[in-house]
Amino acid sequence: MRRVPTVTLVAGLILLVLVLGMISLMAGRVWAPFSAWSDRTDPRWAIVFLLRLPRTILALAVGAALGLSGAAMQGYTRNPLADPGVLGVSAMAALGAVLTLYLGSAASQTWVIAGGAMGGAFIGVLLLMALSGAASSTVTFVLAGVILNTMAAAGVSLALSLAPNPWAVNEIVNWLMGSLADRRAEDVTMALPLIVIGCGLLLLTGRALDALTLGESGAKSLGVDLAATRWLLAAGVALTAGASVAVTGVIGFVGLVTPHLLRPLVGARPGALLAPSAVGGAVIVLIADILVRLTPAASEVKLGVAMAVVGGPFFFILLLSRRRSLA
């Protein structure tokens, strides 16, 4: 496939984001044309600016966070299967957030659930780094992800089985399925600064990721501080994945799918893939959120469920292609 200059690709994706953002503000069970945006007496004005605008902003932010973190983890590990969801980071973030829901802490302080999610994500990243060591093989990271996902699933199941009342169970289950429905401006205020900081940290790793394509010895010879890169990656993924999970629940496969879709257009250099993956992730989540709103069903399909329906087969095809290439 023909390569596209990074600046051109990012500019095209940003233009697509703007178009999709406008559609996101209009689309839903109630269609809100431009004429309703400027008329405060129109009931649709409140739907656009109080419900759909925070939802659209969060879709863009969460998509960018997950796409960028997936590209950074794939570049650091030199592993095309790396992703916060596949490798258990999102599951660990979910476990941290579920514990705050189980203990009832999130009801009184909205920032507590974000702290729990980021703490879980940070622990998950550190465990991955510790398990990887000097050899970042596909088998090592997939097994580490299986371990983290299993641990997190066991913790969540324990919280569900010991929940003090059915309302807590319902709240945890609905949250785990992942959704952008009914998000408010307060959720944007809480998550957006953390996502921006996390994305900034991940973008700083671009030069180091390019150098790591030569191996750790080659990167050191080019003056790359591998310890600093490791901590930048850990902090960036913890902030992006943790803040995203805190406001939307678990939305998987965005970080896995986005870099693979864009890599043929960008090339093999991991640093050049970071910015396009951020914007591409925003495009994917925004499209998915628009589609789930337009689903002709009694209740809206959860965004996390919709992404799993798409991401599962993609992951399966990716594994088959890897097996053929290694055969």
Torsion over CA of 10, 16, 18 and 24, rounded to 10 degrees? -140
Q: Which residue has the tokens 């991401």?
A: 311
Rounded to the nearest 10 degrees, what angle do helices 110-132 and 89-103 cross at?
Answer: 150
Q: In this predicted structure, what is the pLDDT of residue 118?
A: 82
- The three-class DSSP label of residue 20 is helix
Which range (112-116, 198-202, 267-271, 276-280) has the least confidence?
112-116
Rounded to the nearest 10 degrees, what angle do helices 110-132 and 138-161 cross at?
Answer: 150
Q: How far is CA 177 from the centre of its chain?
A: 14
Q: Which of 326, 295, 284 is nearest to 16 (CA)?
A: 284
pLDDT at 165 over 80: no
* CA distance readout (Å), 116 to 102, 105, 314: 11, 10, 30
Torsion over CA of 235, 238, 239 and 244, rounded to 10 degrees? 160
pLDDT at 62 over 70: yes
Domains detected in the chain: 6-326 (1.10.3470.10)
Residue 255 is encoded by which pair of tokens?
A: 């970080």
pLDDT, one tens digit per residue, over 75-97 is 988 877 778 877 788 889 889 88
* Most confident by average pLDDT, 76-80, 102-106, 181-185, 317-321: 181-185
Q: In this predicted structure, what is the pLDDT of residue 284?
A: 94
Residue 108 is encoded by which pair of tokens?
A: 């009184």
Query: What is the average pLDDT across 127-146?
Result: 67
Q: Which of 276, 261, 241 is nearest to 91 (CA)?
A: 241
Q: What is the mean pLDDT of the chain?
A: 85
Query: Following DSSP, what letter does each residue of 142-179 receive, concatenated?
Result: HHHHHHHHHHHHHHHHHHHHT-SSHHHHHHHHHHHT--
pLDDT band at 106 (very low <50, low <70, confident <90, very high): low
Strands (E), the chain: none
pLDDT at 6 over 90: no
pLDDT at 327 over 60: no
